[in-house]
Structures are given as structure tokens and as C-alpha cells.
């Protein structure tokens, strides 16, 4: 993947994030509009995401999924 790198870490575009997750760009927009997507920032008109934020977001989703499964098992 063609990520950009700076002193603050690696960044990915919206299209790269969608490709990485094997979902549509619209899915990422939908998640973000519901407050459930990764935090991103705009550079002009383009959305960018820090890889560290993507990792933190995935970890939050994993924890939420584990809690749902644990809650449903009782």
C-alpha cells in the first residue's frame, strides 16, 4: 500500500483504508457518520487516517465484539 510517512507516523487515504478492510469507501463514510469509524483528518478535500488511529479503532471494535459475545453467553 502506498502510505505516506512523516515524523508522526504513517497515513493512509480513504480509498487505501477501504481496500485494506475489504469494504467500500461508502462503508467508511457511513461508519464515520454514525460515530463508529476511525478518526481521520482532511488535507484539502482528501481524508487521511493515521495508521496508529486505525489500529486503535480496530482494537476498540474487537473489544466491543468480545463484550457483546460475553454478554450473550450468559
* Model pLDDT, residue 49: 97
67 HSE (CA, 13 A, CB side): 6
* Model pLDDT, residue 71: 84
State which residues form the domain around 9. Answer: 4-72
Neighbours of 33 (CB within 10 A): 9
| Domains in the chain, number | 1
Mean pLDDT per 10-residue interval, the chain, length 74 residues: 60 96 96 94 96 95 92 65
Q: What is the DSSP letter of 34?
A: T
Residue 68 sits in a domain whose CATH number is 1.10.1660
* Model pLDDT, residue 47: 96
Going by their DSSP bridges, the two strands 46-50 and 4-6 should be labelled as: unpaired
Amino acid at each position: 500500500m502506498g502510505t505516506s510517512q512523516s515524523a508522526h507516523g504513517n497515513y493512509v487515504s480513504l480509498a487505501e483504508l477501504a481496500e485494506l478492510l475489504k469494504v467500500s469507501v461508502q462503508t467508511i463514510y457511513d461508519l464515520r457518520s454514525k460515530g463508529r469509524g476511525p478518526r481521520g483528518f482532511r488535507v484539502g478535500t482528501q481524508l487521511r487516517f493515521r495508521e496508529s488511529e486505525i489500529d486503535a479503532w480496530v482494537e476498540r471494535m474487537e473489544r466491543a465484539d468480545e463484550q457483546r459475545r460475553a454478554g450473550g453467553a450468559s
